[in-house]
Amino acid sequence: MPISEDVVVVGGGVAGSIAALSAAETGASVRLVSYKKSTLRHASGLIDVLGFTGDGEGPLADPFAGLDSLAERHPYRIVGEDAIREGLALFDEIAGDEYRGSHTDANALVPTHGGAVKPTARYPRAAAAGVASDDRDTLLVGFATMTDFEASLAADHLAAAGVPFDVSGVTVEFPKTFRADAKITRYAKALDTDEAVGGRGTREALAAAVEPHLDGAERVGFPSLLGDDHRHEVRADLESYLGAAVFEVPMGPPSLPGLRLEDLLFDALDEAGVGISSGNKAVGYETDDGDLSAVVVDRNGREIPYHADAFVLATGGLVGKGIDSSREGVREPIFDCYVPHPDDRYDWFVDDAFGDHPFATFGVVPDDRLRPTRADGHAEYENLFAAGGVVGGADVAAEKSASGVSLATGVVAGREAGETA
């Protein structure tokens, strides 16, 4: 059976998921094609909108106050503030009670595993008790077998950053013994199922290991591994054993909050009736009379065309492989869209590691409807739209705007595609 939908979205990260939902809201039939798992399993699960201005000033208390500082062709300037708010509103609907931050325009300051304080617009409910505007004294807890969270070091960094509370860190043994390279999900599962250790459950045993170090702390932060399916129950139990609020500190990859966010997005896609083909790489395209007619997907070595009236490209930036770089240059590998970049590779970087690197803003160049354009400024195709990290013009890592850009462009690209179909 040939595959044919109104809209095909390529990419299963934040941008692709939101674009697919937005297209479905127009009444279009939608299929989402995604290669491997998205970069969400590496991401923190935080939803940043804008933490720093285009000139690096910040952290910003109000992300919307920084929009005018951004370059004229920044994706936010193209889609406008209303689209950012629309993207956030759609996200809030999907996230329901799992996320916090929707009550205010202001950024929250969330401590990260390195001991930095990060401005973000939406954060998991599990991280809520850790926000830095809260002045309750804090104990951070790391585990001997998890070397990527040094609780004392993170506490020192937070104290040096001037947070308005006393903070200390301690390393304890996790009640169950895991190898140093054990997957984070092993810890989460032991807490989820409350496996018995030494005659009591893992949750109680963990609280007993931490309790002697409390020293008056009113809240306790753990790495993000406090359960998965039963995470709220795990935190509630730890809180009652410890008599202190408990929160998760967002971690680097692999990230349980990122996986939980992916689950939320895919549940919403299922509910909206979006067809999902995952594990398949889009490798090319077909055209008909100058318009795109299909994206070609490699299924176990067979090239299958997925036909549609309109398409959304949401394959991510350099990290997600939506933009590819090699000695020959920088390219968008599926539709071969134009990606401007200096010919000389040495001009892709600057000497200062923290400087403004041109490569950070590489991506397709969208027109006002988010259609990738050619070098002459015309749309590559009337029926191809782009969203998220594949869109150039934003240094999302420096500005702390990655997921916000994905939400805002996703909502617009999805709607444009749905209305074109």
Ligand X SMILES: Cc1cc2nc3c(=O)[nH]c(=O)nc-3n(C[C@H](O)[C@H](O)[C@H](O)COP(=O)(O)OP(=O)(O)OC[C@H]3O[C@@H](n4cnc5c(N)ncnc54)[C@H](O)[C@@H]3O)c2cc1C
Nearer to ligand X, 233 or 324 (CB): 324
Rounded to the nearest angstrom, the gap between the alpha carbon of residue 370 and the centroid of all alpha carbons in its chain is 21
Answer whether the bond into residue 59 is a cis peptide, omega within 30°: yes
CB atoms within 10 A of CB 385: 32
Nearer to ligand X, 201 or 404 (CB): 404
Q: How far is the CB of 83 from ligand X (least distance, A)?
A: 15
Q: How far is the CB of 367 from ligand X (least distance, A)?
A: 18
Q: How far is the CB of 387 from ligand X (least distance, A)?
A: 7
DSSP letters for 161-198: TT-SS-EEEEEE--SS---TT--HHHHHHHHHHT-EET
Q: How far is the CB of 49 from ligand X (least distance, A)?
A: 8
Nearer to ligand X, 63 or 142 (CB): 63
Nearer to ligand X, 46 or 220 (CB): 46
**Rounded to an integer, what distance in angstroms lies between the CA atom of residue 115 and that of residue 43?**
17
Q: How far is the CB of 232 from ligand X (least distance, A)?
A: 22
Q: How far is the CB of 355 from ligand X (least distance, A)?
A: 20
Q: How far is the CB of 112 from ligand X (least distance, A)?
A: 8
**Rounded to an integer, what distance in angstroms lies between the CA atom of residue 118 and that of residue 138?**
17
Nearer to ligand X, 223 or 388 (CB): 388
Classify residue 162 as exposed, middle or buried by CB count within 10 Å of its CB (0-12, 13-18, 19+): exposed
Nearer to ligand X, 209 or 305 (CB): 305
Encoding tokens for residue 339? 């990606």
Reference 246, options 130, 150, 133; nearest CA is 130
Nearer to ligand X, 35 or 187 (CB): 35
**Rounded to an integer, what distance in angstroms lies between the CA atom of residue 300 and that of residue 323?**
23
Reference 102, options 91, 117, 115, 116; nearest CA is 91
Nearer to ligand X, 144 or 397 (CB): 397
**Residue corresponding to tokens 């390195």:** 114
Q: How far is the CB of 111 from ligand X (least distance, A)?
A: 12
- The SS3 assignment for 27 reads coil
**Rounded to an integer, what distance in angstroms lies between the CA atom of residue 78 and that of residue 417?**
17
Residue 250 is classified by DSSP as P
Q: How far is the CB of 22 from ligand X (least distance, A)?
A: 13
Q: Which residues make up the interface to ligand X (CB under 6 A)?
A: 10-16, 33-36, 38-40, 42-44, 46-48, 253, 281-282, 314-316, 319-322, 334, 388-389, 402-403, 406
Q: How far is the CB of 321 from ligand X (least distance, A)?
A: 5
**Rounded to an integer, what distance in angstroms lies between the CA atom of residue 197 and that of residue 207?**
13
Nearer to ligand X, 13 or 101 (CB): 13
DSSP β-ladder status, 138-143 and 123-124: unpaired
Classify residue 151 as exposed, middle or buried by CB count within 10 Å of its CB (0-12, 13-18, 19+): buried
Encoding tokens for residue 243? 């008599």
Q: Are 77 and 50 in contact, with CB atoms under 8 Å apart?
A: no
